[in-house]
Amino acid sequence: MDDLNKEICRWRNRIDKIDLQLVKLLSKRAKCADEIGKLKLKLGIEAYSPEREKEVMHNISTANPGPLTAKSIRRLFERIIDESRSIEHVTMSEKKKKAKNNKSGE
């Protein structure tokens, strides 16, 4: 039984390391979304891009090796995309407010 507990501990340690990598990667992805929000504002386009989201879903579905199901991967990425879109909205709103305040203060 002690060997099995040690093995569980080893697997949990691996999960902990992977979780830290995921956090770093999600933060990098969020930074990209932030920058895209700035560019979309300059271009005068909306944060929501259904075509791009379909492309992302296709890419991740095609790349999924399992054991997560296609449905599970889609649900995870729906949340990731939703949070990324939220970052874009916040960035775009803040930039619009700054621009408006700069114009009204002139």
Find the radius of gyration of the CA atoms of the chain: 20
Q: Which domain holds residue 44?
A: 2-104
pTM for the structure as a whole: 0.79
Query: Nearest CA to 46 among 95, 101, 88?
Result: 88
Whole-angstrom distance, CA of residue 33 vs CA of residue 66 = 27
Q: What's the pLDDT score for residue 51? A: 94
What six digits make up the tokens of 18? 């992977």
Digit-coded pLDDT (tens) for 65-104:
999 999 999 999 999 999 998 888 888 887 777 777 777 6
- Residue 57: CATH number of its domain: 1.20.59.10
- The contacts of residue 80 (CB under 8 Å, 6+ apart) are 26, 29
Instruction: Report the C-alpha gap between 39 and 45 in whole angstroms.
Output: 9
